[in-house]
Copies of this chain bind each other. A is one copy, B any other.
Amino acid sequence: MRIFVTGAAGFIGSTLTDRLLGVGHSVVGYDNFSTGREKFLTHALTNPGFSIVRGDICDERALAKAMSGCDLVIHLAANADVRFGLAHPRRDLELNTIATMNVLEAMRTNGIRRIAMASSGSVYGEPSIFPTPESAPFPVQTSLYAASKVAAEGFLQAYCEGFGFQGYVFRFVSILGERYTHGHVIDFFKQLSVHPEYLEVLGNGKQRKSYLYVQDCIDAILLCLEQPGKINIYNLGTDEYCEVDESIGWISETLSVSPERRYAGGERGWIGDSPFILLDCSRIRSLGWRPKLSIREAVVRTVKFIDQNRWCVEDGH
């Protein structure tokens, strides 16, 4: 199969691309390299079945040109910077919602009708049910990021109904592993590189979060893509969660440091942060999938990767 991957130079995108190439698919990657890294594509570029197009998801014509001849679109490119949404109120709308519409329209232009997209567990807002199933009560959005993802999901679904598309929506928890480029592990790693004796922590350290190892995430995506339904919505996470404080313990232990913890206080790390994320993943588990790594193992592996690939942490790549 010829697969078009947006965000192909990113953390999840490049890892997925390697996996797809490994099982014999050809891949057309699309990335503007705003957060994607050329180094992540080193292996993919040795494969004749891979090509990369430097382009922006805000550019529908470039998208349409690049995806010509593909059979399936896996749309991962997005603004994933949840925390600073309020500083740039239109960014999530533009990069997540309107951009997804660009992808859908580019597909329609090309007669491509299968799409998978990365959504987020944050679309459940602050849910009343834990673990939170895909059929949780109609949520109230608490961040622009999550609002933009719900919006993108809705337009994708409308294309499935209206234009006969087949759609896959993945509501991820935070993903960890090799090529990890943003999130709390990097934030803490950076701080501890500069001042190993203390660590500034957003919130009170009691936020409960769920994480999933990137290869487990990709196993799940590949399995779901075999399902025949018109609209397939899956939570992707582990059946466990950890407190931020536990994660700090694992990170510190791996780096052999014992920082004093300085809490900013409050239940949430920032406005719109969900203090508790735990997804009900029984739908994907019913297909036979289960994560191979625990959250602790995923955190440790991520820290070791960053420690051995410090260029990932450096600004300007």
Binding site for B on A (CB under 8 A): 85-86, 89-90, 93, 97-98, 101, 104-105, 108, 124-125, 134-144, 146-148, 150-151, 153-155, 157-159, 161-163, 231, 233, 271-272
Contact = CB atoms under 8 A, between A and B. Distances in A.
Contact of A146 (B136, B150, B154, B159): B154
B157 A142 contact: yes
Given A89-B108, A98-B98, A137-B135, A143 B155 contact: no
6 contacts: A89-B105, A143-B162, A147-B158, A151-B151, A161-B271, A162-B272
A151 B100 CA distance: 13
Nearest to A89: B105
Given A90-B101, A105-B89, A147-B151, A158 B138 contact: no
Contacts of A98: 93, 98
Interface core residue of A85, A108, A140 (most chain B CB under 10 Å): A140
Contacts of A105: 89-90
Contacts of A108: 89
Nearest to A124: B138
A145 to B, nearest CB: 8
Given A141-B158, A151-B154, A154-B151, A163 B93 contact: no
B140 A233 contact: yes
A155 B93 CA distance: 9
A108 B144 CA distance: 15
A140 B229 CA distance: 13
A231 B140 contact: yes
Nearest to A161: B142
A103 B124 CA distance: 25
A138 B140 contact: no
A155 B147 contact: yes
A86 B141 contact: no
Given A89-B105, A105-B89, A151 B155 contact: yes
A141 B163 contact: no
Contacts of A157: 125, 140-142, 147
A272 B154 CA distance: 12
Contacts of A231: 140
A154 B138 contact: no
B139 A138 contact: yes
B138 A138 contact: yes
A190 B50 CA distance: 58
A85 B140 CA distance: 25
Closest 3 CB pairs of A and B: A151-B151, A147-B154, A141-B154
Contacts of A142: 157-158, 161
Contact of A158 (B146, B159, B162): B146
A163 B143 CA distance: 10
